């Protein structure tokens, strides 16, 4: 069991890198759809990839920020953004709303798991840890859309988004309380959060609108 539990920190690092790359890809697609130039695409990719995690680290007083501690994240974002732009240009790839949703949902699950895991490891109360699992994925996407002059997807499509991360955070804490190893807790949180978002898109589940009469 001790050997398996050592997978936890390693898996957190892998998940955070995967989440960073997933949101990088979503940022590139949104920027391309907005017809930005190359500098704009890089800027949006970086904001999407690092915005939520940076806010999390600020709120938890974690210094240096996660992307400063792991410079390979920066190189990964640069490489993926460059490759994605070249691919999209050569293949005349059209980034539709539907295509963007897949890396966005994957990044949501990955960053939600990392966010609650980091906060829990820092000894935060349960609700704070869950909210860090919401802030980490959602804020990056919100910044991405605002920079591209769009109403954030998290607020406008009315299908569960932040709610999926919120529920996933409680799954993490529940599995942790039951004594599940960290690798299983992280993997389960990713699967539940991303799975709920994909299911909501597939079934077109919508949250009730708030109407003032």
pLDDT, one tens digit per residue, over 135-155 is 999 999 899 999 999 888 888
What is the band of 125 on the pLDDT scale with cuts at 50, 70, 90?
Answer: very high
Domain residue ranges of the chain, discontinuous segments joined by +: 2-203
Q: Within the chain, how many helices (H) and strands (E) appear?
A: 10, 0
pLDDT, one tens digit per residue, over 63-90 is 899 999 989 999 999 999 999 999 888 8
Greater confidence (112 vs 100) lies with 112
C-alpha gyration radius of the chain: 17
Quick one: pLDDT at residue 7?
59
Question: Is residue 2 over pLDDT 60?
Answer: no
Whether pTM exceeds 0.85: yes
Residues whose CB falls within 8 Å of the CB of residue 186, separated by 6 or more in sequence, listed in order:
8, 11, 12, 15, 113, 114, 117, 172
Single out the residue of 167, 163, 158 nearest to residue 206, CA to CA. Answer: 158
Question: Is residue 96 over pLDDT 80?
Answer: no
pLDDT, one tens digit per residue, over 171-185 is 999 999 999 888 889
């Amino acid at each position: 069991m001790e050997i398996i539990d050592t997978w936890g920190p390693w898996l957190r690092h892998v998940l955070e890198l995967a989440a960073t790359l997933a949101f990088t890809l979503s940022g590139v697609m949104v920027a391309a759809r907005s017809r930005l130039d190359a500098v704009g695409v890089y800027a949006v990719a970086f904001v999407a990839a690092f915005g939520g995690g940076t806010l999390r680290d600020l709120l938890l007083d974690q210094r240096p920020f996660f992307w400063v501690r792991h410079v390979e994240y920066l190189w990964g974002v640069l490489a993926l953004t460059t490759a994605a732009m070249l691919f999209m240009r050569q293949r005349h790839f059209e980034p539709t709303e539907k295509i963007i949703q897949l890396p966005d949902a994957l990044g949501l699950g990955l960053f939600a798991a990392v966010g609650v895991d980091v906060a829990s490891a820092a000894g935060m109360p349960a609700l704070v840890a869950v909210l860090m699992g919401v802030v980490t994925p959602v804020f990056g996407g919100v910044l991405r859309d605002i920079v591209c002059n769009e109403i954030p997807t998290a607020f406008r499509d009315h299908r569960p988004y932040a709610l999926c991360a919120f529920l996933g955070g409680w799954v993490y804490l529940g599995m942790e309380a039951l004594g599940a190893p960290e690798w299983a807790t992280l993997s389960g949180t990713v699967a539940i959060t991303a799975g709920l978002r994909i299911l909501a898109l597939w079934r077109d589940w919508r949250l009730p609108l708030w109407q003032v009469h």
